[in-house]
Every structure is written in structure tokens, then in C-alpha cells.
Amino acid sequence: MTLLIVAIGAGLGTMLRYLTVTFWSTKPQYLTAIFAVNMVGAFFMGILMATGATNALHHFWSTGVLGGLTTFSTMMTQSEQHATVQQLLYLLIQLVGGLVIFGLGFALATFL
């Protein structure tokens, strides 16, 4: 049953990512769209991790929706397509930004 719940969540997350990227369809905005979905996903993952829940609803949101929404492979493909300095900067911003945003979500959920 958990597998089905995760699969449904992943489908929803993937559709949200697709709609976001489609909305920002030109090249510079495409990079912004992937950055945005990764940061939103990291923020909400921080909130979910702060709850400490491990039930089916948690799996639906964390592994399912947020796992489908965020994308490490697209980020890596995008970084490969840029000049070396741009590539490193893009990766650094994504990785450090994701950790910071995750921490903010975790802190916010812990504080509330």
C-alpha cells in the first residue's frame, strides 16, 4: 500500500515540476524554474523532517510529491551545459541553497 501512495505522490510532484518548467519555458527562466522547484522541495522537506513522522502520509509527501517535484538529474545536466565557472557556480548555489533552505524549513517547523 505504501508503494502505491508514494507512486501517486511522485506522479503529482512530477506534474507540478512539469507545469513549473513549462510556465518558465525560455532558456534563462528554465534554469530559474529548476532552481525554484529544488528550493521549494528542500524547504518543505525540512518541514517534514522536523515532524519526525514516518506514516504513509509522510511517505506520500516526502518520497512521493517532493521526490517527484525536485530533480537532481536535471540540475546536473544543466550544469554540464554551461562554461566551467558557470557550472560550478550553479552547482554551488543549488547545493548550498538547498541545505540552507532545508534548514530554514526545519527550524520553522521546530519553532512552530
Contacts with 65 (C-beta within 8 Å, 6 or more apart), sequence order: 9, 10, 12, 13, 16
At residue 87 the predicted structure's pLDDT band, cuts being 50, 70 and 90, is confident
Mean pLDDT (whole number) for 14-39? 83
Say what the pLDDT of residue 67 is.
94
Query: Rounded to whole angstroms, how far apart are CA atoms 96 and 72?
Result: 13
Question: Known binding site for Na(+): residues?
Answer: 67, 70
pLDDT > 70 in the chain, percent: 88
Say what the pLDDT of residue 19 is.
92
71 vs 101, more confident: 101
Question: Known binding site: residues?
Answer: 67, 70
At residue 82 the predicted structure's pLDDT band, cuts being 50, 70 and 90, is low
Annotate 81-110 with b (16+ C-beta within 10 A) or e (fewer): eeeeeeeeebbeebeeebeebbeebbeebe
Query: Rounded to whole angstroms, how far apart are CA atoms 58 and 54?
Result: 6
Query: Rounded to whole angstroms, how far apart are CA atoms 67 and 73?
Result: 12
Return the domain boundaries, the chain: 2-111
